[in-house]
């Protein structure tokens, strides 16, 4: 099949031409790698995604998961790809080499997994095992690392993340699960967890569950929470599997989408014999879990990008093939031939809106992750903190902006299909169903907004936020003197100024005791910031593309400003068309999406608190 998963040319543009990925190989941590190796990995990821993962998408959706005699059975079509996935090492790309992983830069893990994430139901199983394994790697004792980590790294054992409880939801501090200390230093766990993705499956011989609970006698709230390793099967000293642990998979949730992902309700310790080991220090559960949560938030943002990418490309292909209506130039001619709907202005508007948003989200995702790689590998502590600070600020935006816009792109893709898109004859309706959950789990997008406004803007007295604004300003200054880009560069600077202005406005509200103004406007601000960040990154891309487009035109003796000469040139030269498309994509976003920021600024500064002033009965 043609590649309708992601635009591999845009992926490589973002990695190499924009972010200069090859420079990571000059750092000691990544000295064993090379651009050729990165290219090979991406080519193999594309092949595996196309041949092994995409074919399971519709089948797994129809078959779903089933619970029989306390054991979850995932779609049968997952069995072979999962084994191949782990054998190829896709599940342990970013694990350090000393732990049995490949030690690749995290951005390479993200880039490879962008090929896979369109079928989140499938990749959730190895992804959760990877996240749980990282917790053991960082916080586990030497005994725990030896006991659990090797088989988690190879994919022989799975993992999950057990946080949510009935009635508590996102209020983690209100959990009721308890851990009772035993004489030998282990614990007995009791409690119920809900909405546990990959809570059980038949892909691996054991599953290692990190579970949040409160040690009996510890204080209420998040400060009293610890985290525990709870294996499905206890592990004997020789590494063999012992008895089945005392917890029950009570049910699998019936969901709107991701049917191949087992979302479980788990009852721990009904027989008062659920074995658990403390992971990390006592009452450090939130600190430990937040490492996995932050990884999960990046992965969920990637889910939004992956859903958007595949939905856009399918819609693009459909609009090229679907004949309907005549050209507007011949709308009065009843005998005019039918044309592909891509020629209709409103369809082109939807396509360019999707294209520009996908490219902006990909740039955001990759930029945030390469900043993390720099923070982890650069030895200068000042520079390392700079990149870490940018990651801190961008993480809630990656999660929330990419998942919400990702869903809107799947919705717009469906619109391109007309009535056919609403039917299961085409895959776009599944893309939409599978994506919706991404804005809800791993901390709802409203919680991400509160994290951004309540914590991230003020970190280091606002230094991290200002550093990011400084990076944006430097890009604007670089391209402001180029005539073809000056207009959009000025627009981006206006967006950057608006961010700084609202940041100061929120700080002023805090000093005046008007804390409900920033809290009530946290989500609009996050989405506003997402648009400004994407506009900045698209301007950055447009600057690179503009220069390369000009060079290609000059090499062929074609005027880059003559539409009549450009039309046949762009049809013949794919590279020129790609670069021209990058510039047009950036221009569209900056001229049509970025102006929405002005309305948000006006709304925030109105200090309207109608959402708090209306009574419950008034709703």
Q: How far is CA 14 from the centre of its chain?
A: 16
Which residue matches tokens 């992965």? 299
Are 163 and 193 in contact by the 8 Å Cβ rule? The answer is yes
Instruction: Provide the token pair at 267.
Output: 């009852």
- Residue boundaries of the structural domains of the chain: 14-154, 158-287, 459-619
- The per-residue pLDDT for range 117-173, each reduced to its tens digit, is 999 999 999 999 999 999 999 999 999 999 999 999 999 999 999 999 997 766 777
User: Measured at the alpha carbon of residue 318, what is the angle toward residues 314 and 322, in degrees to the nearest 5?
Assistant: 175
Cβ within 8 Å of residue 39, ≥6 positions away: none
Phi, psi of 240 (to 5 degrees): -75, 165
Instruction: Give the burial class of 162: count Cβ atoms within 10 A of its Cβ; 0-12 exposed, 13-18 middle, 19 or more buried.
Output: buried
Q: Report residue 157: phi and psi, to 5°.
A: -120, 145
Q: Distance of CA 231 to CAs 74, 135, 475, 555, Å? A: 19, 14, 49, 63
Q: What pLDDT is recorded for position 492? A: 98
Q: Could you give the maximum distance between any two Cα atoms of the chain, in Å? A: 89
pLDDT of residue 575: 96
Between CA 16 and CA 550 the distance in angstroms is: 19
Q: Among 54, 30, 82, which residue's Cα sits nearest to residue 202?
A: 82
Q: Which residues of the chain have pLDDT under 70?
A: 1-2, 169-170
Q: What is the CATH number of domain 158-287?
A: 2.40.110.20
- Residue 116's closest CA among 65, 53, 165, 69? 53
Catalytic, 114? Answer: no
With b meaning 16 or more CB within 10 Å and e meaning fewer, what string describes 84-94?
ebbeebbbbbb
pTM: 0.96
Structural class in CATH, domain 14-154: mainly alpha
Beta-carbon count within 10 A of 336 CB: 13
Instruction: Give pLDDT tens digits for 223-264.
Output: 999 999 999 999 999 999 999 999 999 999 999 999 999 999
263-268 vs 187-197, strand pairing mode: antiparallel
Tokens of 83: 């084994």
Instruction: Report pLDDT for 561.
Output: 86
Instruction: Let me know how long the chain is.
Output: 619
Q: What is the predicted pLDDT for the residue at 332?
A: 81
Select which of 442, 575, 596, 607 is catalytic. Answer: 442
For residue 601 the two structure tokens come to 């600024």
Q: Quick one: tokens of 25? A: 């190989």
> Are 181 and 218 within 8 A, CB to CB?
no
């Amino acid at each position: 099949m043609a590649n309708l998963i992601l635009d591999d040319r845009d992926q490589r543009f973002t990695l190499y031409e924009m972010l200069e990925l090859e420079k990571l190989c000059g750092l000691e941590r990544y000295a064993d790698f090379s651009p050729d190796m990165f290219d090979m990995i991406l080519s193999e990821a594309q092949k595996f995604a196309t041949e092994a993962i995409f074919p399971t998408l519709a089948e797994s959706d129809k078959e779903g998961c089933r619970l029989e005699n306390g054991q979850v059975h995932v779609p049968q079509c997952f069995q072979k790809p999962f084994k191949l996935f782990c054998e190829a090492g896709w599940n342990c790309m970013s694990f350090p080499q000393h732990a049995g992983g490949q030690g690749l830069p995290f951005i390479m893990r993200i880039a490879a997994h962008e090929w896979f994430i369109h079928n989140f139901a499938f990749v959730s199983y190895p992804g959760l095992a990877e996240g749980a394994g990282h917790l053991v790697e960082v916080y586990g004792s030497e005994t725990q690392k030896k006991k659990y980590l090797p088989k988690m790294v190879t994919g022989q054992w799975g993992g999950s993340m057990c946080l949510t409880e009935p009635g508590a939801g996102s209020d983690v501090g209100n959990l009721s699960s308890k851990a009772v200390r035993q004489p030998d230093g282990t614990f007995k766990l009791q409690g119920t967890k809900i909405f546990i993705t990959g809570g059980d499956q038949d892909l691996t011989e054991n599953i290692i569950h990190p579970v949040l609970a409160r040690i009996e006698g510890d204080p209420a709230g998040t400060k009293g929470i610890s985290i525990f390793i709870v294996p499905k099967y206890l592990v004997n000293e020789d590494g063999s599997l012992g008895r089945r642990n005392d917890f029950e998979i009570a049910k699998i949730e019936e969901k709107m989408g991701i049917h191949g992902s087992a979302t479980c309700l788990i009852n721990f310790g009904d027989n008062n014999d659920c074995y658990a080991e403390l992971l990390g220090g006592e009452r450090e559960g939130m600190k430990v879990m937040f490492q996995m949560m932050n990884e999960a938030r990046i992965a969920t943002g990637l889910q939004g990008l992956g859903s958007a990418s595949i939905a856009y490309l399918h819609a693009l292909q459909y609009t090229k093939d679907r004949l309907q209506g005549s050209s507007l130039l011949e709308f009065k001619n009843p005998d005019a031939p039918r044309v592909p709907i891509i020629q209709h202005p409103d369809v082109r508007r939807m396509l360019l809106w999707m294209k520009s948003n996908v490219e902006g989200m990909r740039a955001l995702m990759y930029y945030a992750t390469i900043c993390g790689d720099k923070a982890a590998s650069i030895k200068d502590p000042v520079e390392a903190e700079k990149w870490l600070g940018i990651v801190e600020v961008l993480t809630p935006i990656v999660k929330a902006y990419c998942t919400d816009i990702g869903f809107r792109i799947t919705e717009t893709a469906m619109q391109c299909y007309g009535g056919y898109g609403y039917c299961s004859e085409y895959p776009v309706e599944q893309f939409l169903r599978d994506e919706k959950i991404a804005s809800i789990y791993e901390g709802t997008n409203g919680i991400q907004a509160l994290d951004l406004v309540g914590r991230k803007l003020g970190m280091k007295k606002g230094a991290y936020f200002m550093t990011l604004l400084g990076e944006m300003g430097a890009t604007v200054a670089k391209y402001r003197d180029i005539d073809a880009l000056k207009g959009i560069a000025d627009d981006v600077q206006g967006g950057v100024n608006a961010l700084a202005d609202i940041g100061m406005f929120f700080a002023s509200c805090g000093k005046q005791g008007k804390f409900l103004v920033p809290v009530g406007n946290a989500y609009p601000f996050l989405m506003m910031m997402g648009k400004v960040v994407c506009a900045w990154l698209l301007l950055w891309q447009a600057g690179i593309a503009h220069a390369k487009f000009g060079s290609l035109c000059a090499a062929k003796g074609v005027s880059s400003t003559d539409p009549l000469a450009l039309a046949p040139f762009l049809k013949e030269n794919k590279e020129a068309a790609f670069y021209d498309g990058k510039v047009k994509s950036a221009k569209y976003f900056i001229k049509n999406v970025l102006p929405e920021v002005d309305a948000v600024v006006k709304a925030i500064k109105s200090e309207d608190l109608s959402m708090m002033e209306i009574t419950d009965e008034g709703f």
